[in-house]
C-alpha cells in the first residue's frame, strides 16, 4: 500500500528531522533534497526509506555532522578527499561543484572520495550534471558490505556497487543508474521485512543454490546476491564490479582490506565538458541521433515502447510533483516513529491509499 504526500511537505519534514538530530542546516537541506529526489525519480529504495537509517546512524555517532572534507591531494583536474564520514549527499553536491568547475577549465574534473557516508541514489546527481550540459560518470562501492559473491563463488566479497552516468541531449537528459549486481540490498531488505519474494532467482544460498527468497541473504543466513547477469552471464557484472573497485577503493586507497569498516561509501566522480573534445554541437548531434534511434525503434511489445534510461523517472518526477509523492506505508511508519521521537508533526496525506 502506498500513501501520497506533497513533495514540499516531505522535504520540510526530512530537513526538520535532520536538524533536530543535530545536522547543520546546509547539510540537512542537501540530504533532504537528495532523498526526496530519489523518491521523485522512482528510486524509492534510496529515497526517504533511508531517512530512519540515517537518523539511527546519527544517534549512534556513526555519521559526522560538522566540518569539511580533508583535501588529500590536488592535481588540478584531479582532487582527492577524505570525506570523514560526513553526510554523503552533501559531500556529493560539493564534489560535483568542484568537478564541474575543473571540467570547464581542464576538460575533465575528477573527485575521489574516501570515507564518505552513504550517498543515496546516483540518478539524482546524474540529472543535475546532465542538465548543466556536462557528462557525469559516477561509481560507488560500500567497503563494509560484502553481499555479492564473485561469479562462480558462494561467499560475499563485493557490495551491489552502482554505476551512474548523466548524458545531456537536446531533450531530457539520459540518466543511467544501475548496480553491478542483479538487485540491491535495499530491495531485498524491504521484501524480507514484508515477507515478499523477488521477481526471479536473483540470489544464491550458502551452497550456491539459486533462490528468490530474500531470507537467504538476511542474517544469520549467509547467502549472496548474484552479479549483474545472474547465474547465466554473471561474469559481466563481476567484471564491472572489479572495475568499480579499482576506480573507487583502489584510487581512494580505502576499501575492503581494512578491518572494522562502517557503513558508507568510497566514490569516483568524473565530470566531462564536451567543449574540450569535439565541441558541444558535435556531442549533441551524435547523442540526439542515438536518442532518436532508440526511441523510434520498433518495439517487441507495442504496449512497451523503447525508452531511454531516466525518461520514465523524469516523467514520474513531474507527475509526483503535481499529484504527490507515493511512499510505501512501511516507509511512512518508520519515518513517523522518528517524527514522534523529535516532536515533529507528520504532514497530511493528500490521497487515499493506492
The answer to whether position 293 is within a domain reads no
Give pLDDT tens digits for 24-81. 999 999 999 999 999 999 999 899 999 999 999 999 999 999 999 999 999 999 999 9
CA angle 15, 20, 23 (to 5 degrees): 70
Model pTM score: 0.94
The answer to whether position 171 is within a domain reads yes
The answer to whether position 336 is within a domain reads yes
Does 126 share its domain with 241?
A: yes
Residue 9 belongs to a domain with what CATH number?
A: 1.10.1530.10
Residue 2: band (very low, low, confident or very high) from pLDDT cuts 50, 70, 90: confident
Does 216 share its domain with 107?
A: no
Q: Total structural domains in the chain?
A: 3
End-to-end CA distance of the chain: 6
What's the gap between Cα 27 and its chain centre? Answer: 18
Specify the DSSP element, H or E, that contains 18. helix 7-20
Q: What is the pLDDT of residue 351?
A: 64
Does 98 share its domain with 127?
A: yes
- The sheet carrying 224-225 orders its strands as 210-211, 203-204, 224-225
Give pLDDT tens digits for 330-344. 999 999 999 999 999
Does 26 share its domain with 162?
A: no
Domain stops at, among 257, 276, 295: 276
The answer to whether position 164 is within a domain reads yes
The answer to whether position 285 is within a domain reads no
Residue 258: band (very low, low, confident or very high) from pLDDT cuts 50, 70, 90: confident
Does 112 share its domain with 243?
A: yes
Report the share of the chain in percent with pLDDT over 90.
92
pLDDT of residue 185 exceeding 90: no
Q: What is the dihedral of CA 307, 311, 317, 319, to 10 degrees?
A: -50
Give pLDDT tens digits for 214-227. 999 998 999 999 99
Residue 193: band (very low, low, confident or very high) from pLDDT cuts 50, 70, 90: confident
Name which of 112, 148, 151, 119 is nearest 256 in CA terms: 148
The answer to whether position 35 is within a domain reads yes
Residue 174: band (very low, low, confident or very high) from pLDDT cuts 50, 70, 90: very high
CA angle 290, 313, 186 (to 5 degrees): 120
Classify residue 97 as left (phi > 0), alpha (psi -120 to 50) or beta. Answer: alpha
The answer to whether position 284 is within a domain reads no
pLDDT of residue 354 exceeding 60: no
The answer to whether position 304 is within a domain reads no
Contact between residue 268 and residue 262 where contact means Cβ atoms under 8 Å apart? no
pLDDT averaged over the chain?
95
Task: Give every CB contact of residue 200 below 8 A, 6+ residues apart in sequence.
Answer: 212, 230
d(CA 18, CA 226): 35
What's the gap between Cα 262 and its chain centre? Answer: 18
What's the gap between Cα 240 and its chain centre? Answer: 17
What is the rounded radius of gyration, in angstroms, for the C-alpha atoms of the chain? 20
Give pLDDT tens digits for 277-324. 999 999 999 999 999 999 999 999 999 999 999 999 999 999 999 999
Contact between residue 121 and residue 38 where contact means Cβ atoms under 8 Å apart? yes
CA angle 217, 42, 310 (to 5 degrees): 110
Residue 220 belongs to a domain with what CATH number?
A: 3.30.60.50
d(CA 10, CA 17): 11
Give pLDDT tens digits for 91-145. 999 999 999 999 999 999 999 999 999 999 999 999 999 999 999 999 999 999 9
**What is the domain range of residue 259?**
69-182+232-276
Does 137 share its domain with 244?
A: yes
Does 157 share its domain with 264?
A: yes
Q: What is the pLDDT of residue 189?
A: 86
Does 236 share its domain with 215?
A: no
Q: What is the pLDDT of residue 57?
A: 97
Q: What is the pLDDT of residue 352?
A: 57
Domain stops at, among 276, 308, 338: 276
Contact between residue 329 and residue 316 where contact means Cβ atoms under 8 Å apart? no
d(CA 295, CA 306): 5
Residue 266 belongs to a domain with what CATH number?
A: 3.30.1370.60
Q: Which three cell numbers stand for residue 86?
A: 560526513
Does 95 share its domain with 112?
A: yes
Name which of 62, 43, 72, 350 is nearest 190 in CA terms: 43
Does 213 share its domain with 338?
A: no
Does 100 share its domain with 149?
A: yes
Q: DSSP per residue over 47-114, as a string? A: TGGGHHHHHHHHHTT-S--S--PEEEEE-SSEEEEE-TT--HHHHHHHHHHHHHHHHHHHSEEEEEEE
Does 248 share its domain with 103?
A: yes
Amino acid at each position: 500500500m502506498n500513501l501520497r504526500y506533497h513533495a514540499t511537505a516531505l522535504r520540510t519534514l526530512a530537513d526538520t528531522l535532520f536538524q533536530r538530530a543535530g545536522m547543520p542546516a546546509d547539510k540537512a537541506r542537501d540530504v533532504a533534497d537528495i532523498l526526496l529526489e530519489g523518491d521523485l525519480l522512482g528510486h524509492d529504495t534510496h529515497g526517504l526509506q533511508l531517512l530512519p537509517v540515517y537518523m539511527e546512524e546519527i544517534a549512534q555517532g556513526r555519521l559526522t555532522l560538522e566540518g569539511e572534507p580533508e583535501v588529500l591531494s590536488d592535481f588540478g583536474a584531479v582532487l582527492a578527499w577524505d570525506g570523514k564520514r560526513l553526510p554523503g549527499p552533501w559531500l556529493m553536491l560539493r564534489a560535483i561543484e568542484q568537478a564541474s568547475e575543473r571540467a570547464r577549465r581542464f576538460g575533465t574534473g575528477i573527485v575521489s572520495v574516501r570515507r564518505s557516508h552513504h550517498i543515496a541514489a546516483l540518478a539524482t546527481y546524474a540529472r543535475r550534471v546532465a542538465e548543466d550540459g556536462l557528462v557525469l560518470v559516477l561509481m560507488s562501492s560500500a567497503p563494509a558490505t560484502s553481499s555479492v559473491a564473485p561469479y562462480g563463488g558462494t561467499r560475499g566479497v563485493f557490495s551491489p556497487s552502482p554505476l551512474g552516468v548523466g548524458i545531456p541531449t537536446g531533450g531530457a537528459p539520459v540518466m543511467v543508474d544501475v548496480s553491478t549486481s542483479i538487485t540491491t540490498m535495499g530491495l531485498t531488505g524491504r521484501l524480507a521485512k514484508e515477507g515478499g519474494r523477488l521477481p526471479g532467482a536473483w540470489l544464491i544460498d550458502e551452497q550456491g543454490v539459486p533462490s528468490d527468497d530474500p531470507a537467504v541473504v538476511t542474517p544469520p543466513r549467509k547467502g549472496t546476491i548474484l552479479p549483474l547477469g545472474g547465474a547465466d552471464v554473471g561474469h559481466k557484472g563481476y567484471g564491472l564490479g572489479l572495475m568499480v573497485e579499482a576506480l573507487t577503493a583502489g584510487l581512494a586507497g580505502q576499501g575492503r582490506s581494512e578491518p572494522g569498516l562502517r557503513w558508507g561509501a568510497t566514490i569516483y566522480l568524473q565530470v566531462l565538458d564536451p567543449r574540450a573534445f569535439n565541441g558541444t554541437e558535435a556531442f549533441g548531434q551524435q547523442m540526439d541521433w542515438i536518442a532518436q534511434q532508440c526511441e523510434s525503434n520498433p518495439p517487441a511489445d507495442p504496449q512497451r515502447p523503447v525508452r531511454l534510461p531516466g525518461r520514465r523517472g523524469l516523467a514520474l518526477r513531474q507527475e509526483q510533483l503535481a499529484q504527490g509523492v507515493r511512499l510505501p506505508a512501511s516507509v511512512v511508519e518508520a519515518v513517523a516513529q522518528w517524527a514522534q521521537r523529535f516532536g515533529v508533526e507528520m504532514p497530511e496525506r493528500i490521497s487515499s491509499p493506492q
